[in-house]
Each structure stands twice: as C-alpha cells, then as structure tokens.
A and B are shown apart, each in its own frame.
Chain A
Amino acid sequence: MEIFQAITNMTAVGLAQHMVNGISLGSLYALIAIGYTMVYGILLMINFAHADIVMMACYFALFGITTFHIPWYLTFVLTIALTALLGVTIERAAYRPLRDAPKNSVLISAIGASFLLENLATYVFTGRPLHFPDIPFLSSMISVGGVQIQAICLFIPIVTVVCLTVLLHIVNHTKTGMAMRAVSKDYEIARVMGVNIDNIISITFAIGSSLAAIGAIMWGIRYPGITPYLGVMPGLKCFIAAVIGGIGNIKGAVIGGFILGLGEILIVAFFPQFSGYRDAFAFLMLIWILFYKPTGLLGEKTTEKV
C-alpha cells in the first residue's frame, strides 16, 4: 500500500527529476562496471584497484585544470591517457608477477594495490575533500520542461552509449577484440594459438582504465567533492553491477549498472525513510542474484571441472 501511496504522491516533474538522476548515475556505474567485467573475463580476478583508478583519474583532471591551467578539453584527453597508463602499470607491477600464483594471492595483491593507491592519494593530495573545477556549460544547471538538471546529465548517457558502441565494435570486429575473446574463453589454448597474452591483457587494462577515466571525469563534474576514498563505494557497486549482468559480459555490465543506478535513486525517492540504507541496496541485489541466477542476467552457464 505504501508503495502506491508514494507513487501517487509523486508528480510527473518529480518523477522525471529522479529518472534523470537515476539514468545518469546508472550510466556512470555502467562505464566503470565495464572495466571490472573485462578484467574479470580475462584474468578471472576482481581488479580491486579499478575503483582507485577512477579516484586517481578525478585527481588528474582536477589538478590538470586547477594547478596546471590546461584547457579543460585537453585535460580530459590527458587524463584518459594518464589513467590508461596507470592501469597498465598496476597490471605490470601487481598482477603480472602473480600470473601463475594461487588465486587468493592475486586477490590479496589486488587489495594491496587498491590500498596503496588510496594511501598514496591521501598522502600526496591530503584527505581533505577538494572541489572539482566548474566546466563551462557542462556544470551549469539548465531547465528542461520544469525539470532542473545539470547539463552534464544530458551528456552522460550519450557518452556511455557512444563508448559502448565503440567498445563493442573493437571487441567483436577487430583482430585485437578477437584475441581478447579468445583469451577469456581459454587462456592456454589462446597462448598456443599464438596470441600474445601479455599484450592483450595490457590492452584490456588500458581500455578498461580509459573508460574508467571517462566515467571519473563525468563523476567529478556531477559530484564535485573529490576525496581519496571516493572510488570505494562506487567501485564495489560497479563490480556488483558486473556480477548482476553476468561477469565477463560487456552488455550485461551496462544493464547491471543501469539497474543499480536507477534502483538506488528510485528507492530513495519513493522511501525517503530508507535513504540511510541506499548503499545496502546493491549488496542485497548481489545476494539475491547470486542466490537465484549465479551466472548473472546474460552470463553463460559454466560447470566446475575436477
């Protein structure tokens, strides 16, 4: 009954407002979730450091504009390049030496890398929240049919769709993409067939990190308080989004991102009394999906072999 009451109490404008917020948050989740799902598809590990790559990208963009006075569009390009480099470096330093180690060691190494990035950011940039600079037009508020929205909200879903299209083209229609799919299908056979595993993994990290950087820049414009721990919660949620969609599946990650983003915003909209629990929603979704459909919405069924 309460649900109906809450829905009937909501005006069309209010609903539109929440939908816009939910879709833009969902798109951001989707962009970051792609990075998780690609790495998991190939290396079968959670890249815990991905969340902190997002955080570092926010700082790169912030300092590029405020300290180095680089024009914002150039900064964005530089940020994407630097973040891709960071992702590849992390893979080289923390994951590659453990390629043949037990899975738990790799997991611990990933946690260590994430912890190191957070502490490094706290040390270098201090723990104080910094304000992401205002970008002309994108940061301003505009009114569309009575709905007050930040201009960036209109661009976030568009950018996400463009990125997804480009990525799907790379994965499905290029030779590199074919190699990536081969590696994620069977690591050993791909190696035997002459795929350079190390290169493919580096490319995967570079692509995932650049998408994370694009997400991070838009995240910074949308939620301008930048702290060293800003990536942690979105990072966990995005991994959950990847699991919900079916881990290893790029379209699934995007769908999962939208489900989580919209769900989170709409729950708070309809049940303001639960707003303290909005971070718990994603984890409950995770438990639910793992209970009923452990392979995710679009995942393939696999069986454990002896």
Chain B
Amino acid sequence: MNKDKRNIMLTLVALVVLFGVACFAQTEIDSYVRRIINLCLIYAIIGLSMNITNGFAGQFSLGQAGFMAIGAYMVGIFTVPVNLRADVFYATPMHPWLVNIYIPLWLALILGGVLAAVVAGLIGTPVLRLRGDYLAIATLGFSEIIRIVITNATSITNGALGIKNIPPLNDVRYIFLVTAISYIIITLLLNSSYGRAFKAIREDEIAAEAMGIGLFYHKNLAFMVSAFFAGIGGGLYGALLGTVDPKNFLFTITYNFLLIIVLGGMGSITGSMFGAIIVTAGLEYLRLFDEPLEIMGVAIPLFRPGLRMVVFSILLMICVLFWRHGIMGTNELTWEKILNFVKHPLAGFRKKGVQGK
C-alpha cells in the first residue's frame, strides 16, 4: 500500500512538473517548436487509443483515421465563429439548423469523442465478430466510408473543400492537460479488471471466454474507448491545424499511429508515449531530406520532396523486421524501475545471475 501511495504521489509531482514545463514552453519557445510539441502530445493520445484495441485487446483495427475525422469535424463544424461561417461555406450554404450553433472547444472535443464512440459501437457490432486480417480490412473500410460520407455531406461538412477559420489552438498547456487526463483515464482503465480482461482476450480468446469473460462486450468496450480518445485526438488535431479537410484523414495517416505503437511496443502505455515523441519529432526533423542538400557546392541529387516518406517507411519496415517488440515490448516504465536505476545506475549492465551478491 505504501508503495502505491508513493507511486501516485510521484506521478502527480511529475505531472505538475511537466505542466510547469508546458507553461514555460508556451511563453518561451517559438511557435514552430510549440507546434511540434503539440503534435507529439496529440499523436500520443491517438497512439494510446490505438494501443487499447491493437496492443491490449489484441484486435487489429485500422480505423483510427475515421474516428479522428469525426472528432475533427465536430470541432470544425461547431467552433468556427458564427460570423465567419458564410466565408467557409461559400459553395453550399451550411444547413440552417447548424448555422447558429456555437459550441466551446472543450465541449466539442467531448462531443466528438462521444460521437466517435457511438459510431464505433454501431460498427463494432458486426465487425468485431471478425478476427485478425478481416478485422483490419473491415475497420479500414469503415474509416474510408466515414471519410466518403463526410466528403458527400456537403451542407454539414462543406464536402471536399474542408472547413477553414477554426480558431487555431497552438497552446501547449491546453493540449498537455487533455493528454494528461486521457493518459490517466486510459491507465486507470487498463489497470482495472477491464484491462486484465482485454489482455486475457489478447492472449487467447477461447481460453478467455472459458474463464467467463464476455468476449463481445469487452471487445466492443475496447473499440469504443479507443474511438472516443481517437475522436478527442482528432478534434485537437483539427484545432491545431486550424482547418479540416477530408484528405487529412486518408487511411495512410493511420500508418503513423501504427508505427508509434509498433515502435513503442504493442501493449505498453509508456511505450506509446515514447513512440509518439520519437515518430512525430522524427518525421518533423526528417524534413531535411525533402530539401535540396549541397555539400561543398555540389548538389546531392537524391534529396528532393518525397525522400522523407521513403526513409520513414524504410524505418517502419526495419522496425517490424528486426525489432518486433519495440522499445518497451509489453512492459511499462514504472517508478520502481526508475528508482532502481537512480539507486544502481549500472545494475542493468550486470549479468542477471550476479545480481544480489
């Protein structure tokens, strides 16, 4: 019990310290770097949400892009200032029922998450009876259907033109708070009996069912929670960009989150955090590959737009082929490990058998 209390205190202290860092970043750091930090945080939420289904419940779902789109459009439709809406919906006027409804961002985020979860519940009923590859392709299909519906519902979503003029949110504190709350809720969920049920289903569905775990209920729950947080992450993403467009939510964006959870470790919460930071910052700093490079006056012809994504996909392949468990595997970075490391920094390098002598 004492240890649990200590861990909770340490976590709270760490969160407060990180919030302080976020406040510092908000005032002191230029907006480009702030944007990257925000993107890391948002990708961490969505990566975590994807890890719930793919890593913990073992249901390989590729629908994250669609749920993100729902959240992003909820923010896009309802947080654009009412007087600017005619500019945005210049081709087809906005539906008269919606045109005067304004919702503050925090409520739009939650509503977007809830709507994404409801859609996931509806989709999950037929889809979660499938396994493995079928589930992957069916969820991918649904995420495309969501995108197609959004593209075609012109009077609500402005169709292919997208929605501009969303009040831009490049506020590290706000996004950090949302990420921290999401992280805490997801951690609590995964450490509860639900989380253990998810893991049991991942390890062996038939055995889990024999132990009295309701397969359908738990799979659907995992899917809906995952969609909820993907919706929130998508809403933040839309608010950060200041514009939403159906093309932002092509299913290729799901591959980013796939890389995050593969790199961080499928089934590790802290792993997803590390994965999100490495992948997002890495993608951003790989941009140097897209720019022409000159070494001592000689232009290297290889460096031109597109190389960044090639390097990115090669990294994904290398990661899958040679480093399947990622950074954390299914382990977590706990306070015990950190404290042990602080006390005996070299313990990890010693041979296992020698320890304790």
CB-CB under 8 A from A109, the residues of chain B are: 317, 320-321
Q: How far is the CB of A302 from chain B (nearest CB, A)?
A: 12
Is B307 engaged at the interface, CB distance under 8 Å to the other chain?
yes
Q: Do residues B144 and A290 form an inter-chain contact, with CB atoms below 8 A?
A: no
Is A104 engaged at the interface, CB distance under 8 Å to the other chain?
yes
Give the complex CA separation of A239 and B149 in angstroms: 22
Give the complex CA separation of A239 and B307 in angstroms: 29
Q: Which of B89-97, B124-132, B340-348 contacts A (4 or more CB under 8 A)?
A: B124-132
Assuming A120-B310, A290-B138, is B321 touching A94 (CB within 8 A)? yes
Scoring B140, B142, B310 by chain A CB atoms within 10 A of each residue's CB, the highest score goes to B310
- Closest A residue by C-beta to B143: A283
Assuming A46-B137, A239-B137, A287-B138, is B206 touching A97 (CB within 8 A)? no
CB-CB under 8 A from B313, the residues of chain A are: 112, 115-116, 118-120
Q: Do residues A116 and B314 form an inter-chain contact, with CB atoms below 8 A?
A: yes
Give the complex CA separation of A107 and B261 in angstroms: 14
Is B255 engaged at the interface, CB distance under 8 Å to the other chain?
yes
Q: How far is the CB of B223 from chain A (nearest CB, A)?
A: 15
Q: For the side of the interface on B, what is the size category?
A: 35 or more
CB-CB under 8 A from A127, the residues of chain B are: 306
Q: Do residues B317 and A116 form an inter-chain contact, with CB atoms below 8 A?
A: yes
Is A135 engaged at the interface, CB distance under 8 Å to the other chain?
no
- Closest A residue by C-beta to B322: A97
Is A243 engaged at the interface, CB distance under 8 Å to the other chain?
yes
Is B248 engaged at the interface, CB distance under 8 Å to the other chain?
no
CB-CB under 8 A from A42, the residues of chain B are: none
CB-CB under 8 A from A282, the residues of chain B are: 141
CB-CB under 8 A from A104, the residues of chain B are: 54, 58, 60, 132, 266
Assuming A120-B310, A243-B134, is B324 touching A283 (CB within 8 A)? no
Q: Do residues A107 and B60 form an inter-chain contact, with CB atoms below 8 A?
A: yes
Partner of A283, one of B141, B309, B321: B141
Q: Do residues A290 and B126 form an inter-chain contact, with CB atoms below 8 A?
A: yes
Interface of B is mostly: helix
CB-CB under 8 A from A108, the residues of chain B are: 258, 262, 320
Give the complex CA separation of A112 and B306 in angstroms: 16
- Closest B residue by C-beta to A285: B141
CB-CB under 8 A from A239, the residues of chain B are: 137
Q: Do residues A115 and B142 form an inter-chain contact, with CB atoms below 8 A?
A: no
Give the complex CA separation of A44 and B129 in angstroms: 18
- Closest A residue by C-beta to B289: A123
Q: Do residues B321 and A107 form an inter-chain contact, with CB atoms below 8 A?
A: no
Is B17 engaged at the interface, CB distance under 8 Å to the other chain?
no
Q: Do residues A286 and B258 form an inter-chain contact, with CB atoms below 8 A?
A: no
- Closest A residue by C-beta to B266: A104
> C-beta contact mask, B130-154 vs A, less than 8 Å → 1, else 0?
1011101110111011001101100
| CB-CB nearest 8 A-B residue pairs | A123-B306, A283-B141, A116-B313, A119-B309, A276-B152, A112-B316, A112-B317, A115-B313
Interface residues of chain B, those whose CB is within 8 Å of chain A, are 54, 58, 60, 126-127, 129-130, 132-134, 136-138, 140-142, 144-145, 148-149, 151-152, 206-207, 252, 255, 258, 262, 266, 304-307, 309-310, 312-314, 316-317, 320-321, 324
19 residue pairs from A and B, CB less than 8 Å apart: A94-B321, A97-B321, A103-B132, A107-B60, A108-B258, A112-B316, A112-B320, A116-B313, A119-B306, A123-B307, A123-B310, A276-B148, A277-B149, A280-B145, A286-B138, A287-B138, A290-B129, A290-B134, A306-B207
